Structure 1
């Protein structure tokens, strides 16, 4: 099973790029973040023409996630449990071919001195609690998406410049480690423990892409049952270099049958 995650930064604005990449890469499941449209206006027909069914949690102009699959997506969950008042479109989860898969868009958290940062940390705690519940089922699961977390200094072009940023603050990284400490595997580093300059996001500003000044914030976390099937995890930098590109690029996970 090939699963891709990609923060497309507006699915309508990037639609030709996204469709072309899907035709080339042909993942069985693709997880989108920041679709930036309401559920009803998601361009489902374009993806259905490529053989994908669509589970979409949209939001006008902001956020929004989707899970597209070539096999039926069952038991769809359209929110992260733990806060009935949180209506932001950041989470969708479903079972595909026996694997529980989630597309998540974790809050950015900046500026740190506002309510956005506590919201980020609360959201991460909710995710940890939900992952702990999923582990009890012993079903293989994959939590993929834009975590807005730089796990370690080797995942950013200039660690000192990011020390006070919500993506790299000690509290953020501690919450991420708490997820891993449940027994989850971070797929990319499991396959490429020492790879340098393995980035998934390059800002549009200050020539970050041509200077390769990026950060790695898009991740797959796997349950032990899914990690046992881990065959590969790689970053496809190609889409970031195209015209009208998203500022993120896809990450591709492969699970053995």
Structure 2
């Protein structure tokens, strides 16, 4: 089973490109972030014509997460328990609204989450505190999921808006005092690993940037960041046969500023035991 994650940066703008890529790269399940639309605005037809069903969580023209799969999706979950909301309005301080940042599905017994971690904006901004709180709750949930179902493959996929290592940005000196590389954010990322997750690509020596800003010729200069990940439980990691970062999807007309991250899972089919032995 080929599984991928991609911050598409507006699915209505890039539906043709995304669907073409799904078919061309033989993707079974894609987790998307920043779909930037409500359910009644999502271009379902293009996905259906290509053989994909869609589950999504979208509340407005911002944020939004989804799955497209040509394999049946089960146990669809919108958001995760204890996820904090966000608002700068004093009138909403007691109960800030939840944002569309997490959706979970199960495909052939594999539990997958598409996640769009809050950006944080700037150090000291309320959104930065929200980001850290959101990640803390996610780590707690992850520990609970793995403890409750240790044998079930689990993966958290998406745009984490964190560069865990200095080498995950083109020049760490330019990021001093900025988000994405601060120690509290990196500690929050480490807490996810400590909860029982492994970076499916980095653990196999697969490196590369996954994001390049549109401005200042960042992509031609390869001034990028590695902020999109597939983090899997031990049961998930045992299934990983390979993976890659599809850098080419940052090229061409109207690309997203992120590129897909892909893993191949070696799942035994139910018919494996019935296959004839060849001597």
TM-score greater than 0.5 by the shorter chain: yes
The residue that corresponds to 2:144 in the other structure is: 133
Deviation per residue, 1:65-107 (Å, 9 max, x gap):
0011111111111012204754200000011000000000000
Corresponding residue SS for 1:30: strand
Structure number with bigger Rg: 2
Could you say what secondary structure the match of 1:177 adopts?
helix
Q: Shift of the alpha carbon at 1:111?
A: 1.9
Q: Which residue is equivalent to 1:175?
A: 188
Which residues of 2 match residues 6-85 of structure 1 at below 5 A?
Answer: 6-83=6-83, 85=96
Match of 1:5 in 2: 5
Equivalent position SS for 2:106: strand
Contact map agreement 2:200 2:231 (CA 8 A) in 1: yes
How many Å separate the matches in 2 of 1:125 and 1:64? 20
Once residues 72 and 221 of structure 2 are traced to their aligned partners in structure 1, the CA distance between those partners, rounded to angstroms, is 41
Question: Structure 2 regions of 5+ residues with no counterpart?
Answer: 85-95, 268-279
Distance in 1, matches of 2:97 and 2:155, equals: 23
Q: Deviations over 1:33-78 (max 9, x none)?
A: 0000012211111111111111100122100000111111111110
Structure 1 stretches of 4+ moved >3 Å: 83-86
Q: RMSD of the alignment, in Å?
A: 1.2
Q: Per the alignment, do residues 133 and 202 of structure 1 end up closer, same or farther by CA in structure 2, a change over 3 Å counting?
A: same
Q: TM-score, normalised by structure 1?
A: 0.96
Partner of 2:270: none
Aligned to 1:163: 176
Residue 191 of structure 1 deviates from its aligned partner by 1.3
Q: How many angstroms apart in 2 are the aligned matches of 1:19 and 1:224?
A: 31
1:234 aligns with 2:247: no
Q: In the aligned structure 2, how far is the partner of 1:163 from the partner of 1:227?
A: 34
Please, which runs of 5 or more residues in structure 1 have no aligned partner?
A: none
Residue-pair matches, total: 254
**Partner SS state of residue 234, structure 1:** strand
